Amino acid sequence: MKLNRLSLNVVGLNRIGLNRIGSPSRGSSSGSDRSYIDPEVLASLKAVCICYGKSNDDPDRAIIKNLVDPDNPFVISNAAFKLNSGFGEYKEDFTTWSKVAGTSIITDSKYVLTDEKAITNAGYFLWNRLAKDSFKVKISNIPNGGWMSYRYRITEEDTQFSSLSIREDGIYTLPATVAGSDVDFFISTASAPAKDWVGLTITQIPSFKGAFFTDGIDDLITSTKTVQEMLGGSNEITVVSLITHISGTGKYNIIGDGGIQVSDYSGQTFMAGTSSSGEKIVELGDKEKLQAVQYTTFDSKLTIGLEDSSYAYYGTFVFNKENVPVDWIHQVIAYFNLDRTLNPDILCNTIKQGITNENHAEFGDKLIDFSGNGRDIQLNNIAWKGDSGIGKYETDFTTWTRSHFTDEVNFTPSKIEVTGILTTNSILINNKPTPIYNVEIHSPNKSIVVYYQYNDDTGVKRIALVDGINELPSANDSLFVTSDRLNSKGITITQIPSHAGALCLDGVNDYGKVTGMPVYKDYTVVTDREIFANIGAILSKNNPGAFVETAGNSVYSFGQATSGLKFISTRSISYLSKYSYCGQSIAAGAAEDVLICG
Q: How many CB atoms lie within 10 A of CB 141?
A: 15
Domain covering 94-205: architecture: Sandwich (2.60)
pLDDT tens profile 460-475? 999 999 999 999 999 9
- Domain range annotation of the chain: 5-15+347-384+504-597, 39-84+211-335, 94-205, 397-496
The secondary structure element, H or E, covering residue 270 is: strand 268-275
The secondary structure element, H or E, covering residue 351 is: helix 350-353
pLDDT confidence tier of residue 24, bands split at 50, 70 and 90? very low
pLDDT at position 543:
62
Q: How far apart are CA 96 and CA 101, in angstroms?
A: 13
pLDDT confidence tier of residue 278, bands split at 50, 70 and 90? very high
Mean pLDDT of 426-449: 96
Asked if residue 21 has pLDDT above 70, the reply is: no
Q: How far apart are CA 249 and CA 226, in angstroms?
A: 23
pLDDT at position 23:
44
pLDDT confidence tier of residue 566, bands split at 50, 70 and 90? confident
Mean pLDDT of 325-350: 90
For residue 209, give every residue at least 6 positions away whose Cβ sits within 8 Å of its Cβ, in sequence order, or none.
88, 341
Between 5 and 153, name the one with better pLDDT. 153
pLDDT at position 3:
45
pLDDT tens profile 342-384? 888 899 999 999 999 999 999 999 999 998 888 999 999 999 9
For residue 441, give every residue at least 6 positions away whose Cβ sits within 8 Å of its Cβ, in sequence order, or none.
450, 465, 466, 467, 468, 470, 491, 492, 493
Pick the CATH number of 397-496 from 3.10.20, 2.60.120, 1.20.1260, 3.30.750: 2.60.120
Q: How far apart are CA 168 and CA 325, in angstroms?
A: 51
Asked if residue 186 has pLDDT above 80, the reply is: yes
**Edge-to-edge strands of the sheet including 547-551?**
366-367, 377-380, 511-514, 595-597, 539-540, 547-551, 554-557, 560-562
Q: Which CATH class is domain 39-84+211-335?
A: mainly beta
The mean predicted confidence, pLDDT, of the chain is 89
* 3-class SS letters over 59-87: CCCCEECECCCCCCCEEEECCCCECCEEE
Radius of gyration of the chain (CA): 31
pLDDT tens profile 33-85? 678 999 999 999 999 999 999 999 999 999 999 999 999 999 999 999 999 99
Asked if residue 552 has pLDDT above 70, the reply is: no
pLDDT at position 581:
85
Percentage of residues of the chain with pLDDT beyond 70: 92
pLDDT at position 10:
62
Q: Rounded to 5, what percent of the chain is helix, strand, coil?
A: 10, 45, 50
Phi, psi at 329, each rounded to 5°: -60, -45
In CATH terms, are 94-205 and 397-496 the same topology?
Answer: yes
Asked if residue 530 has pLDDT above 90, the reply is: no
pLDDT at position 560:
87
Asked if residue 19 has pLDDT above 60, the reply is: no
Query: DSSP state, 197?
Result: G
pLDDT at position 202:
97
pLDDT tens profile 3-13? 445 566 666 66
Between 374 and 495, name the one with better pLDDT. 495
Between 514 and 19, name the one with better pLDDT. 514
pLDDT tens profile 280-318? 999 888 888 999 999 999 999 999 999 999 999 999 999
